[in-house]
Amino acid sequence: MHADYIVVGAGSAGCAMAYRLAEAGRSVIVVEHGGSDWGPFINMPGALSYPMNMPRYDWGYRTEPEPHLGGRELACPRGKVLGGSSSINGMVYVRGHALDFDHWRDTGADAWGYADVLPYFKRMEHWHPGPHGGDPAWRGKDGPLHVTRGRRDNPLVKAFVEAGREAGYPVTPDYNGHQQEGFGPFDMTVWKGARWSAASAYLRPAKRLGARIVNGLVRRVVFEDGRAIGVEVIRRGRTETLRAGREVILSAGAINSPKLLMLSGIGPAAHLAEHGVAPVADRAGVGRNLQDHLELYIQQAATQPISLSKYWNLFGKAWVGLQWLLARRGPGASNQFESTGFVRSAAGVEYPDIQFHFLPIAVRYDGKVAAEGHGFQAHVGPMRSASRGEVTLRSPDPAEAPRIQFNYMSDPQDWADFRTCIRLTREILGQEAFAPYRGHEIQPGAAVQSDDELDAFIREHVESAYHPCGTCRMGRADDPDAVVDPQGRVIGVEGLRVADASIFPRITNGNLNAPSIMVGEKIADHVLDRQLPPKNAQPWINPDWRSSQR
């Protein structure tokens, strides 16, 4: 089998890449190890806690024991299914802050500033603001990716935004538009009550344009004279080579793209030698620069039976499921993340570095509801930790999971930042807007107040927000720690690119699905030797940021 381009991974960026290449008339093969994304657990937004805990859809990765979290091993779900992690994620849609991308540009990712990426965000979006406002001039209106908002009819959801306003923060009608900072409605990749993944938005249209999907496990990239000419794939128990006439593009994500590069001989030469992998290009940065967002759930009991806990029983779940199956309506038609906030942690911080996800139920990602029953919670965490980890090979066997060491909380500032997060969240949940509903604090609990007590709670309860990135960092071609250049081309070889969240120089502000898709869109244009013209739009920066926290 052969094609002009082979895309490894049918995830957020890979699906966008396949569609844009097929749309341009190129022949494309997409190789995906996972299977179909059909089924209610993936497609019902309210069931989001299920697919990321199902081996059928998830690679099931876990971190190494994290030394700063008491040796805990944290879950690291990654999509093993058509649509990749966009088929198992929480469907939250956040572009990131404009200054995130200016930072990328200023640290070596030329032509990746906000002016350069904004046209791609607009091209990919079909935004449906609903009744909650926002300036459509900042958003896309006819792209393949439907972006909607929940009904926001639970009073707790509105109370969260009002509490932010009462605490002195701005209210923003659209954090993905002119002003990120503040409290307001959340965007989600849901359309007509169902998950709208990258497979729905891009891969199915790509198939109609002739792109082929091959189910198999990629062992390595095949090189001839320093040029990628295909990939070696295990299919139905046999190994075969798929040939690329023009390029191979790795879109396997922040964990599997560096793993595949190292298995193919691209990475730190000494590490490759430990595993008997013949070096093709000595690139010290492969697998390094691993970043993520951590978060805590601050949980509050509710004094009125208005939370989603009323559905957390056999009859309630059956009723929600029936409404969704018959009409794509009811609580199952939303991811229930319907209000958010982006704030700055201190005066002197130029743009938000803390994100809130509000949820009108006290529940964990694994679906375990708080024993107290009715409640609500805010997920909170810092956006720009200085801690860095790495992905390394465990063995030369492509079927074996790599070693994943995030090195969470290794920077002392992380602990101060998380204490600030907890205290700011408590202040917001303590506002008058929540007075009719507020019971006792479930977690951490009112007795947990001192720095030491908060640190102990953080160490035991902090969880990944499932936003790994950075392991094939983009930079200038002469940067010894960069893995790809600003066009996504792997430095030191020919005919090979990477297009996914692994190329992020630094993690963006918020959830990563939107910028991952944007990377697929933009790198596809680099492959096709074209670029959308930059759009110089000035985002809102708090004029008092130097002197005021809010």
143, 23 Cβ separation under 8 angstroms: no
Quote the tokens at residue 452: 């030491």
DSSP H helical ranges for 107-248: 114-124, 155-166, 198, 204-208
Query: For residue 284, how many other CB atoms are within 10 A of its CB?
Result: 15
Any catalytic annotation for residue 467?
yes
Q: At what angle do helices 98-106 and 114-124 cross, to 10 degrees?
A: 130
Quote the tokens at residue 27: 């022949």
What are the distances in angstroms from CA 120 to CA 20, 256, 530? Answer: 12, 25, 12
In whole angstroms, give the CA distance from residue 512 to residue 509.
8
In whole angstroms, give the CA distance from residue 250 to residue 256.
9
Q: Looking at residue 200, what DSSP letter applies?
A: I
108 annotated among ligand-binding-site residues: no
Q: Which residues of 118-128 are buried (b: 16+ CB within 10 A; e: fewer)?
A: bbbbbbbbbbe
Q: At what angle do helices 513-527 and 12-23 cross, to 10 degrees?
A: 30
In whole angstroms, give the CA distance from residue 338 to residue 374.
18
448 annotated among ligand-binding-site residues: no
Quote the tokens at residue 518: 């944007």
89 annotated among ligand-binding-site residues: yes
90 annotated among ligand-binding-site residues: yes
In whole angstroms, give the CA distance from residue 520 to residue 505.
15
Residue 380: its H or E element: strand 375-382
In whole angstroms, give the CA distance from residue 211 to residue 171.
44
Burial degree of 403 (CB within 10 A; 0-12, 13-18, 19+): middle
The CA angle 45-51-55, to the nearest 5 degrees, is 170
Q: What is the DSSP string of 220-284?
A: EEEEETTEEEEEEEEETTEEEEEEEEEEEEE-SHHHHHHHHHHHTTEE-HHHHHHTTPPPSEE-T
Q: What is the DSSP string of 55-80?
A: TTTB--EEPPPBGGGTTBPPEE--B-
Per annotation, catalytic residue among 33, 68, 467, 526: 467
391 annotated among ligand-binding-site residues: no
117 annotated among ligand-binding-site residues: no
Report how far Cα 225 is from the mean position of its chain's Cα atoms: 36
In whole angstroms, give the CA distance from residue 315 to residue 123.
43
Binding residues: 81, 89-92, 218
Q: Residues with catalytic annotation? A: 467
Binding residues for FAD: 81, 89-92, 218
